[in-house]
Structure 1
Amino acid sequence: MTPHPTIPPEGVRADHAIVATGSPLAAEAARAVLAEGGSAIDAAIAADAVLGVVEPMATGIGGDMLAMIVPPDAAPLTYNGTGRAPAALTADLVEALPARRIPDRHPLSLTVPGAVAGWFDLHARFGRLPIARLLAPAIALARDGFVVGPICGREWSVFEGVIARDPVAAALYRAGAVPKAGETFANPGLAAVLEAIVAEGPSAFYEGEPARAAERAARSHGGVLAAADFAAHRGDFDVPLATRFRGLDVLECPPNTHGLAVIEALGALEPLPLERDDPATMIAAVKAMAKGFETAKKTVADPAGNTVATVVVDRDGLAITLMTSVFKRFGSGIGVPGCGFVLQNRGSGFSEPGHVNGPGPGKRPYHTVIPAAALKDGRFHAGFGVVGGAMQPQGHVQLLIRIAAWGEPLQAALDAPRWRFESGMELAVEPGTPAPLVAAFAAAGYVEPTGGEIAGRSDFGGAQFVMRTPDGGLVGASDRRKDGTVLGL
Structure 2
Amino acid sequence: MRERDFMKPGKSVAIAENAMAATSHPQATLAALDILRAGGNAVDAAIAAVALQGVVDPHMTGIGGDCFALYTPAGGKPVALNGSGRAPAAADAALLRSQGMTAISDLSVHSVTVPGAVGAWDHLSSTYGRIGLDAILQPAIRAAREGFTVAPRVARDWSRYAGRLKAHEASVRQFLPGGRAPSVGDRLGNEALAATLEKIAREGRKAFYEGEVAEDIVNTLKALGGLHTLEDFENARPDMAEPIAADYRGFKLMECPPNGQGLAALIMTRILEGFDLGEGRLSDADRIHLLAEAAKSAYRQRDLYISDPDTMCVSVEELLDEHRIAAIRSKISLDRASDPTALDMPVHKDTVYVSVVDRDGNAISLINSIFAAFGSGIYAEGSGVLLQNRGSGFSLQEGHANVIGPSKRPFHTIIPAMLFQDEKPVISFGVMGGQYQANGHAHFISQVVDRGFDVQMASDQPRSFFTEGAISLEPTIPEDVRRELERRGHKTRIADEPLGGCQAIMIDHARGVLWGASDHRKDGIALGY
Task: Return the TM-score normalized by structure 1.
Answer: 0.95
Q: Secondary structure at the match of 1:211?
A: helix
User: 1:191 and 2:194 equivalent?
Assistant: yes
Which among 153, 163, 166 is matched to residue 164 of structure 1?
166
Does the CA-based 8 Å contact 1:275-1:281 persist in structure 2? no
**Structure 2 partner of 1:414:** 459
1:189 CA displacement: 0.6
**Structure 1 partner of 2:255:** 252
1:97 CA displacement: 5.5
Query: Hey, what's the Cα distance between the residues in 1 that align with 2:523 and 2:229?
Result: 35
Give per-residue Cα distances to partners, 1:363-384, cap 9 Å, x unaligned: 0000001000011111110011
User: Residue 135 of structure 1 aligns to which amino acid in structure 2?
Assistant: L
User: Residue 273 of structure 1 aligns to which amino acid in structure 2?
Assistant: D
Q: Which runs of 5+ in 2 are unaligned?
A: 307-343
User: 1:221 and 2:224 equivalent?
Assistant: yes
1:61 CA displacement: 0.4
CA separation of 1:419 and 1:98: change in aligned 2, threshold 3 A: farther
**Structure 2 partner of 1:465:** 504
**Structure 1 partner of 2:286:** 280
**Structure 2 partner of 1:435:** 479
Q: Secondary structure at the match of 1:446?
A: coil
**Structure 2 partner of 1:147:** 149
**Structure 1 partner of 2:388:** 344
User: Residue 293 of structure 2 aligns to which amino acid in structure 1?
Assistant: K
Which among 8, 30, 38 is matched to residue 40 of structure 2?
38
Q: CA RMSD for the aligned pairs?
A: 2.1
Query: Hey, what's the Cα distance between the residues in 2 that align with 1:145 and 1:123?
Result: 26
1:218 CA displacement: 1.0
Query: Hey, what's the Cα distance between the residues in 1 that align with 2:250 and 2:213?
Result: 47
1:416 CA displacement: 1.7
Does the CA-based 8 Å contact 1:94-1:353 persist in structure 2? no
1:435 CA displacement: 3.3
Query: Hey, what's the Cα distance between the residues in 2 that align with 1:125 and 1:102?
Result: 36
Q: Secondary structure at the match of 2:115?
A: coil
1:240 CA displacement: 1.0
Give per-residue Cα distances to partners, 1:426-461, cap 9 Å, x unaligned: 1110011133432222122222359xxx97xx6501
Q: Which runs of 4+ in 1 moved over 4 A?
A: 7-10
1:98 CA displacement: 5.4
Query: Hey, what's the Cα distance between the residues in 2 that align with 1:341 and 1:150?
Result: 23
**Structure 2 partner of 1:106:** 108
1:410 CA displacement: 2.1
- Map residues 175-186 of structure 1 onto 2, 5 A cutoff: 176-186=179-189
Query: Hey, what's the Cα distance between the residues in 2 that align with 1:310 and 1:49?
Result: 11
Does the CA-based 8 Å contact 1:162-1:333 persist in structure 2? yes
**Structure 1 partner of 2:16:** 14
CA separation of 1:387 and 1:245: change in aligned 2, threshold 3 A: same
Does the CA-based 8 Å contact 1:72-1:380 persist in structure 2? no
**Structure 2 partner of 1:129:** 131
Which among 393, 405, 413 is matched to residue 360 of structure 1?
405
1:411 CA displacement: 1.4
**Structure 2 partner of 1:291:** 297
Query: Hey, what's the Cα distance between the residues in 1 that align with 2:513 and 2:62?
Result: 32
1:165 CA displacement: 1.1
1:288 CA displacement: 0.6
User: Residue 290 of structure 1 aligns to which amino acid in structure 2?
Assistant: K
Does the CA-based 8 Å contact 2:23-2:518 persist in structure 1? yes
User: Residue 171 of structure 1 aligns to which amino acid in structure 2?
Assistant: R
Q: Secondary structure at the match of 1:100?
A: coil
Q: Secondary structure at the match of 1:356?
A: coil
Does the CA-based 8 Å contact 2:217-2:385 persist in structure 1? no
Query: Hey, what's the Cα distance between the residues in 1 that align with 2:72 and 2:45?
Result: 15
Does the CA-based 8 Å contact 2:200-2:207 persist in structure 1? yes
**Structure 2 partner of 1:328:** 372
Query: Hey, what's the Cα distance between the residues in 2 that align with 1:315 and 1:358?
Result: 44
Task: Return the TM-score normalized by structure 2.
Answer: 0.88
Does the CA-based 8 Å contact 1:66-1:79 persist in structure 2? yes
User: Residue 207 of structure 1 aligns to which amino acid in structure 2?
Assistant: E
Does the CA-based 8 Å contact 2:80-2:240 persist in structure 1? yes
**Structure 2 partner of 1:484:** 524
Does the CA-based 8 Å contact 2:503-2:518 persist in structure 1? yes
Query: Hey, what's the Cα distance between the residues in 1 that align with 2:476 and 2:454?
Result: 18
**Structure 1 partner of 2:239:** 236
Query: Hey, what's the Cα distance between the residues in 2 that align with 1:434 and 1:471?
Result: 38
- Please say which structure displays the higher CA radius of gyration: 2
Q: Secondary structure at the match of 2:138?
A: helix
1:273 CA displacement: 0.5
Query: Hey, what's the Cα distance between the residues in 1 that align with 2:132 and 2:241?
Result: 25
**Structure 1 partner of 2:345:** 302
Query: Hey, what's the Cα distance between the residues in 2 that align with 1:371 and 1:411?
Result: 17
Q: Which runs of 5+ in 1 are unaligned?
A: none
Q: Secondary structure at the match of 2:137?
A: helix
Query: Hey, what's the Cα distance between the residues in 2 that align with 1:308 and 1:231?
Result: 26
User: Residue 303 of structure 1 aligns to which amino acid in structure 2?
Assistant: P
User: 1:444 and 2:488 equivalent?
Assistant: yes
1:100 CA displacement: 2.2
User: Residue 472 of structure 1 aligns to which amino acid in structure 2?
Assistant: G
Query: Hey, what's the Cα distance between the residues in 1 that align with 2:101 and 2:123?
Result: 38
Identity %: 39
